[in-house]
Structure 1
Amino acid sequence: MSCPFSGSRTGPTRRGLLVGAGGALASVGAGALARAATPAAQAPAALSEPFFGRHQGGIATRQQTHSYFAAFDCLAKTRDDLTGMLQLWTTAAARLCAGDTARDLGQDPSVEGPDGGSALGLSPSRLTITFGFGPGLFVKDGVDRYGLAARRPPALIDLPKFNGDQLEAQLTGGDLSVQACSDDPMAAFHAVRELARLSYGFAQFRWAQQGFLPDAPAAETARNLMGFKDGTNNPRGSATSPTPDSPRNFEEVVWVDEEGPDWMRGGSYVVARRIRISLEHWDRTEVDFQEQVVGRHKYSGAPIGKANERDSLGLDRLDGDGNPLIADNAHVRLGAAATNAGAQIFRRPYSYNDGIRFTAERWPPWRQGMMYDAGLFFLCYQRDPREGFVKIYENMAKLDALNQFTTHTGSGLFACPGGIGEGEFVGQKAFM
């Protein structure tokens, strides 16, 4: 049986594809990975994002309008099976991001299709695919399944249980993560679907979350479902002067450097949190109260008492009665670097809408009934979650006034390895 990425006209059956490391999985070598960089039908440069490089795409990439995030449980029996699957994933991802099919269409039509075909004729619309490794890939239930326990970075912790968490098991954890982002929702979903097809027998879905953003001008901060701008104080590039609200630049906040293992240098850690928002409750709340809860004016995005979105928070400002203009329990105060000993994260969230479901509110007025299952799929990147998300959110979970409208129902932490070179597969150095 030939390699599914070779030029042969003989294609694999599903059974043949999943024979293990001794078969198709192990046969995907550096030559096939290198060929993925120059697929047969590349998309125009303006519609595609680079796949290979020092960092994985989908982190520093200008945020696309659609996302499909999936967490997988790993079923591979051996280390070779696992690396073979990662080779397949890497090759397919490179092809998809360049606007090609997951596998060569020039295969025998009598066997399983090389690509589901749902994105045929579509541009990748700036598709990026970002891979992550969860704690369970290194040790799961006390077992070092793949000989990786010694390669687990200290920063890849098991997230603590935070005050108010109502995490659902079917929306939490995972051994591997895949996030596809694109300006076309079909391209993002198709990418994850194709990778899932290639992993049959070696990985299975644990949970998934689709997300979206408004199609706003690139220079504007996107609004979330509460109607507020989200990400105003994100760290920016090294050429941007530091500010009191963002004292460190993007590179310092996001990318792992010498402190990490070699396979994580140039990578980052992503925290994923599915946050249901009680939109019915929020929509019945006066705008003035909403602004006090958040600490910003709703329509301009400016800090309370100021005129422009990018104005400094000015957390020491007082009103005529000597009270802080931005309340002690306001969302922006509790999330600010100045409140958290300089801790920063890079937010890259998406809104989500999963229809309606029966829900009981955990705050007054304690309504219950069929309500929106919608909110924020919060994603943040940092070089060490212990000094980023955990340090910031421990206080927010206890004190944030926004908690009366939000409930964290899903969670995951994944180590996103450094960038992938041509001829390599994602996280390859972790297996060396």
Structure 2
Amino acid sequence: MRSSRRVFPFAQGVSDGTETAGANGNTRRGGDGGGDGDVGGDGDGVEGGGVSRRQLLGLFGAGAAGAAVGAAGGASVATALANASAAGAPDPSRAYAFHGAHQAGITTPAQDRLHFAAFDTDASLDRDGLIGLLTDWTNAAARLTQGLEVEEGGAVGGSDYAPPADTGEAQGLPASGLTITFGFGSGLFGAGDGASDRFGLAARRPPLLEPLPRFQGDALVPELTGGDLCIQACADDPQVAVHAIRNLSRIAFGRATLRWSQLGFGRTSSTSTAQATPRNLFGFKDGTANVKSEEQAAVDEHVWVAASDEPAWLAGGSYLVARRIRMIIENWDRVQLGEQEQLVGRSKGAGAPLSGGTEFTEPDFSAEGPTGAPLIAPTAHVALAHPSANGGTRMLRRGYNFVDGNDALGRLDAGLFFLSYQRSPQQFIDVQRSLAADGLNEYLRHVGSAIFAVPGGIAEGEFVGQALFT
């Protein structure tokens, strides 16, 4: 069982990256998927120079001290809060609707922090027990996303002689934009032999929900791979995200066991045009060409499973690919700037394609330099991941940076936790195969992998995935 270390919660500033799988093929490689710039993930740090939660606490302390001398301290705090709001800093009171046509946490503007968890169902669990677990998870998630405890009474309102219903570490904290997204792994549908179909779901297995093929750079660790169920909790406060996974894991006791989990900080893609482009741990902007929620036609085409697709119960949902990509940070940090930019195909500062223009200028892969060589090498990440090299394939990435301490050799255990949502897993597969020639592969190792079918939205009174059981 993977227990990811709590390193990210207070590393508040990493907010830039490239995209890796899907959207447009730019600087983020991550060995994973393909968008325009996606080496690592999706992350969204405090945007636009906004003030972080920890910094705000410091400001309040400074304001209180100033108040003892005069009123200027309070004015300073008010000014700082106004500036933070104007700069687009996350609103801690923001709460996203849990119920709707699609699950939140997919096209939702990417939050600052992630806690992702994959579970294995216990051997004793039967169909009714699975439905009960999903119902309990749904009821708790609907409350948590609104800034409430998992149930009435919560952490301190129950009996003194029983464990509290809520673990309590989020008491007094607002919703902080929390979204909770659920997914189903292939193990939920049995092994295909009929004998292991203990939930009676084999006939309803999505035909596309198959293990991913082996890719260039794969060095997968079984303990970081797979899972029958998954939960993605994203929030602008790390404690809120951790609290959600902790309590949902607790609810699952005796029915499902945590297989592995991952904390993430600093989104590595933007999922809304209102968000600034973040950076990954290679220092490049990540997510420039990602599918944005405002591109409704693109989202419908590339992200959501249509009613005409199979199976019908998955309509309005998506397929989630999760990849833990270890970045060989120490080797990368010794590469000359010019070579780094050639490998990515973009400038490290502005994020513009090497063919010229600004960050959002479309790359010109035919442009040549004085010697007649392409300005963007055919093996650059941008070129290989771009939709023009992959039959128009795009996907929506929501990855995050991670730093889980260091390994036995003293190297940072760091990289990109890549998450992509797509209408078909083939979109990810096509782009990832294209990236086999990517020069960034020398600096990447894919150590964890999983794929999940993400059901459509949840109506009031329903539980997640209810259509699967009807």
TM-score (norm 1): 0.83
1:139 shift after superposition? 1.4
Aligned-partner Cα distance in 2 for 1:85–1:149? 19
* Equivalent residue number for residue 54 of structure 2: none
* Equivalent residue number for residue 315 of structure 2: 265
Aligned-partner Cα distance in 2 for 1:146–1:275? 33
Aligned-partner Cα distance in 2 for 1:239–1:74? 37
| Paired residue secondary structure (1:271) | strand
TM-score (norm 2): 0.76
* Equivalent residue number for residue 128 of structure 1: 179
* Equivalent residue number for residue 38 of structure 1: none
1:309 shift after superposition? 0.6
1:46 shift after superposition? 4.8
* Equivalent residue number for residue 331 of structure 1: 381
Checking the alignment, whether the CA contact within 8 Å between 2:107 and 2:293 is kept in structure 1 is: no
Is residue 2:420 matched to residue 1:380?
yes
Q: What whole-Å deviation, never above 9, does each CA across 1:54-79 have from its counterpart, x for those lacking one?
A: 00010010000000000000115210
Q: What whole-Å deviation, never above 9, does each CA across 1:262-282 have from its counterpart, x for those lacking one?
A: 321111111000001011111
| Paired residue secondary structure (2:425) | coil
Is residue 2:132 matched to residue 1:84?
yes
Aligned-partner Cα distance in 2 for 1:301–1:91? 43
* Equivalent residue number for residue 182 of structure 1: 235
1:107 shift after superposition? 3.2
* Equivalent residue number for residue 112 of structure 2: 65
Alignment partner of 1:419 out of 434, 454, 457: 457
* Equivalent residue number for residue 56 of structure 1: 103
Is residue 2:166 matched to residue 1:115?
yes
Aligned-partner Cα distance in 2 for 1:372–1:321? 39
Aligned-partner Cα distance in 1 for 2:372–2:390? 23
Checking the alignment, whether the CA contact within 8 Å between 1:237 and 1:251 is kept in structure 2 is: no
Aligned-partner Cα distance in 2 for 1:343–1:219? 23
Aligned-partner Cα distance in 1 for 2:374–2:468? 49
* Equivalent residue number for residue 166 of structure 1: 219
1:154 partner amino acid: P
Aligned-partner Cα distance in 2 for 1:381–1:345? 6
Aligned-partner Cα distance in 1 for 2:139–2:275? 33
Aligned-partner Cα distance in 2 for 1:109–1:170? 38
2:354 partner amino acid: I
Q: What whole-Å deviation, never above 9, does each CA across 1:142-168 have from its counterpart, x for those lacking one?
A: 421211111111121111111220000
* Equivalent residue number for residue 255 of structure 1: 304
Alignment partner of 2:278 out of 204, 222, 227: 222
Alignment partner of 2:434 out of 390, 395, 412: 395
Structure 2 alignment gaps of length 5 or more: 1-90
1:141 shift after superposition? 7.7
RMSD over aligned CA atoms reads 1.9
Checking the alignment, whether the CA contact within 8 Å between 1:238 and 1:251 is kept in structure 2 is: no
1:236 shift after superposition? 2.9
Is residue 2:285 matched to residue 1:236?
no
User: How many residues matched?
Assistant: 370
| Paired residue secondary structure (1:249) | helix
| Paired residue secondary structure (2:411) | strand
Structure 1 alignment gaps of length 5 or more: 1-43, 241-247, 359-368
Checking the alignment, whether the CA contact within 8 Å between 2:355 and 2:365 is kept in structure 1 is: no
Q: What whole-Å deviation, never above 9, does each CA across 1:274-307 have from its counterpart, x for those lacking one?
A: 0010111111111111000001001101101313
Q: What whole-Å deviation, never above 9, does each CA across 1:317-342 have from its counterpart, x for those lacking one?
A: 22233322111111111111100111
| Paired residue secondary structure (1:370) | coil
Q: 1:45 to 1:181 in 2, by over 3 A?
A: closer
Checking the alignment, whether the CA contact within 8 Å between 1:71 and 1:207 is kept in structure 2 is: yes
1:223 shift after superposition? 0.5
Q: 1:180 to 1:280 in 2, by over 3 A?
A: same
Q: Which moved more, 1:165-174 or 1:309-318?
A: 309-318
Aligned-partner Cα distance in 1 for 2:143–2:363? 44
Q: 1:58 to 1:139 in 2, by over 3 A?
A: same
Aligned-partner Cα distance in 2 for 1:335–1:383? 18
Checking the alignment, whether the CA contact within 8 Å between 1:300 and 1:307 is kept in structure 2 is: no
Percent identity of equivalent pairs: 48
1:355 shift after superposition? 0.5
2:150 partner amino acid: A
Alignment partner of 2:325 out of 260, 267, 275: 275
